[in-house]
Structure 1
Amino acid sequence: MNATHTGPATISVLGLGNLGQALAGTFLGKGHRTTVWNRSAGKADRLVAQGARVADSPSAAVADADLVVVAVLDYATVRELLLPAADGLAGRTVVNLTTGTPETARELAAWVTDQGAAYVDGAVYAVPQTVGTASAFVLYSGDEAAYRTYRPALDLLGDGVFVGAAPELSSVYDTAVLSGMYGLFAGFFQAVALAGTEGITAAALTPQLVRWLAGAAEALPGFADEIDRGEYATTTSTLEINQVGLRNILATTEAQGLPTDLLSPLLRLFDDQVNAGHASASLSRAVESLRGDR
């Protein structure tokens, strides 16, 4: 399976939650023959009006397409849906856009491959309303030949990036990217709570916070280069400067009667590095404490 599929693909979408509906609607809107299946058949009504075919079982949906796209709750559900269709998977490509863990991605990929099908794992970075727009992107890993074959159809969902042949890689990327997102949310919640102790509303604070964070984000590629090279010399944002600054922030937080649970662990990383003799190193060296390397 090495040739790019340039014409309209035959596609089945299993799972019609918000994401699944957006996926199927995007394929239909671009002229692909699309079959859909969902436990609650009524969720297909809008898609049927757009030209979708409805399968009465996952097995029927698999049999009706060359490209099978799955977007359900978890990997256990993916396996449950595909198991009765195992005999019909051979020669097809399964693209799994369900959120899971690297281990479950490896296991599912091995099982799908054993059935004679190609397996591609994916992580979608879009809210359903932005699927198919320039703001959406999807990371893929697994069978590269299968990905290249169906890339014209998959790229309709958002900018596609193939991150490697190991099927679990998209899940590893996803876990890492979302970890950064939740760290950002934690900082936002802490900031809003702290500002609120003096009557500053979240709406008043947020424009200033977003402006500052946008600038701070520009430092990340530089930090990434330092981390990958393992070279942390800097003349700007040293660990000692940030250690003092964060300690002051936490002291203010406590004085305002708020907990410091969200940011205290970061100060421990700074303390660990400064105590190990790296006070003048770049802030990015804090990652070495997470890695267990002083």
Structure 2
Amino acid sequence: MTKSDTSVTVIGLGLMGQALARAFLKAGHDTTVWNRTPAKADQLVAEGARLASTVGDALKAGSLTILCVTDYPAMFELLGAAAVDLNGKLLISMTSGSSTQAREAAQWAEQRGARYLDAAIMAIPPAIGTAEAVILHSGPQSAFEAHRPTLSALGTVTYLGTDPGLASLYDVAGLAMMWSVLNAWLQGTAMLRTAGVDAATYAPFAQQIAAVVAEWLPGYAEQIDRGAFPAEASALETDVRAMAHLIEESEAVGVNAELPKLIKAMADRSIAAGHGGEQYPVLIEEFGKVNT
């Protein structure tokens, strides 16, 4: 470990906050920590961290401050105290929340003289400090670039843009992708189990299908961005017949068909609107609508 000139403060020492602080320590950064329950800092102090007695003292100690607390209201409560001076500070919130909350937090911080970056951690605590930990950042690019080397101690850091809400939006978009893939796999697994095929046997085939579909994404993205959906592979009216088959087979073997019924209902609406001859990504119009 080589000592770094950049000092870091970590506020909030849940499992993730502890992992963040530990990664900074391992990278040689002078690391100050604070938590409502001081005992959570004991092991980090033993490893070389400095425990601040107050939030204000913690902020004074670091060149940048990482916030990893329960939610945005908790962050406002901690930083909004009269004794806390935010002027000139760089705050990086790694607290989960909505894009609206992130934008409001950025404005709130700027009004108090601080610079603000919002961040989303796409990893579990044990992965922090490795390349597998992806950390998304949004907000002022100059603030990010100035501290990129320090933030890289946490994992693979990415800058998304100046809109502070982008990190949160990417976070939930990633969750939508993750759960959709898992839900589709569970649907198929449930069907195959009725024929005595176990999940482990089906999983490699499911991986192959997922990999093939992933290869379609760049081309489909081009169609969405152009707003033109020529049926190069198959038309939606063809796909909807396959959806009906999936629903029929699910019900025939006694498996829940709510998920494929939901997607088929969206496809049916798109076809009714005149898009039956277009390719599957035309459903972006349905996904872009608020339920009424």
Do both share a fold (TM > 0.5)? Answer: yes
Q: Which residue of 2 aligns with 1:146?
A: 143
How far apart are the structure 1 equivalents of 2:170 and 2:232?
31
Q: Which residue of 2 aligns with 1:214?
A: 211
Q: Which residue of 1 aligns with 2:156?
A: 159
Q: Does 1:285 align with 2:288?
A: no
Structure 1 vs Structure 2 CA RMSD = 1.8
Is contact 1:59–1:85 with CA below 8 Å preserved after alignment? Answer: no
Q: Which residue of 2 aligns with 1:254?
A: 251
Select 1:66's aligned residue among 63, 66, 73: 63
Alpha carbons of structure 1 residues 55 and 282: separation in structure 2 relative to 1, 3 Å: same
Select 2:202's aligned residue among 173, 195, 205: 205
Offset at 1:143? 2.1
Is contact 1:23–1:157 with CA below 8 Å preserved after alignment? Answer: yes
Compute the TM-score of the two structures, normalised by the length of structure 1: 0.92
Offset at 1:244? 1.1
Is contact 2:191–2:253 with CA below 8 Å preserved after alignment? Answer: yes
The percent of aligned pairs where both chains have the same amino acid is 37
How far apart are the structure 2 equivalents of 1:43 and 1:203?
40
Equivalent residue letter for 1:197 = T
Secondary structure of residue in 2 paired with 1:231: coil
Structure 2 residues not aligned, in runs of 5+: none
Say which structure, 1 or 2, has more relative contact order (CA 8 Å, 6+ apart). Answer: 1
Structure 1 stretches of 4+ moved >6 Å:
none
Secondary structure of residue in 1 paired with 2:195: coil
Select 2:49's aligned residue among 47, 52, 75: 52
Offset at 1:85? 6.5
Equivalent residue letter for 1:17 = G
Is contact 1:58–1:85 with CA below 8 Å preserved after alignment? Answer: no
Is contact 2:33–2:41 with CA below 8 Å preserved after alignment? Answer: yes
Equivalent residue letter for 2:125 = P
Q: Deviation digits for residues 81-130 of structure 1, max 9, x if unmatched?
A: 21227642111100001110111112211111111110000111111111
Is contact 2:97–2:168 with CA below 8 Å preserved after alignment? Answer: yes
Q: Which residue of 1 aligns with 2:115?
A: 118
How far apart are the structure 1 equivalents of 2:187 and 2:34?
43
Q: Does 1:228 align with 2:235?
A: no
Alpha carbons of structure 1 residues 94 and 232: separation in structure 2 relative to 1, 3 Å: same
Alpha carbons of structure 1 residues 86 and 119: separation in structure 2 relative to 1, 3 Å: farther
Select 1:37's aligned residue among 28, 34, 37: 34
Q: Does 1:184 align with 2:188?
A: no
How far apart are the structure 2 equivalents of 1:179 and 1:230?
22
Q: Deviation digits for residues 201-233 of structure 1, max 9, x if unmatched?
A: 222221211121112111111111110011111
Aligned pairs, number:
287
Q: Deviation digits for residues 267-286 of structure 1, max 9, x if unmatched?
A: 11222222333223111111
Is contact 2:55–2:84 with CA below 8 Å preserved after alignment? Answer: no
Structure 1 residues not aligned, in runs of 5+: 1-6
Q: Which residue of 2 aligns with 1:274?
A: 271
Between 1:238-247 and 1:272-281, the stretch displaced more is 272-281
Select 1:13's aligned residue among 10, 13, 18: 10
Q: Does 1:92 align with 2:92?
A: no
Secondary structure of residue in 1 paired with 2:158: strand
Secondary structure of residue in 2 paired with 1:241: helix
Alpha carbons of structure 1 residues 190 and 82: separation in structure 2 relative to 1, 3 Å: same
Alpha carbons of structure 1 residues 65 and 259: separation in structure 2 relative to 1, 3 Å: same
Secondary structure of residue in 1 paired with 2:32: strand
Offset at 1:30? 0.8
How far apart are the structure 1 equivalents of 2:5 and 2:254?
61
Compute the TM-score of the two structures, normalised by the length of structure 2: 0.92
How far apart are the structure 2 equivalents of 1:199 and 1:77?
50
Is contact 2:130–2:155 with CA below 8 Å preserved after alignment? Answer: yes
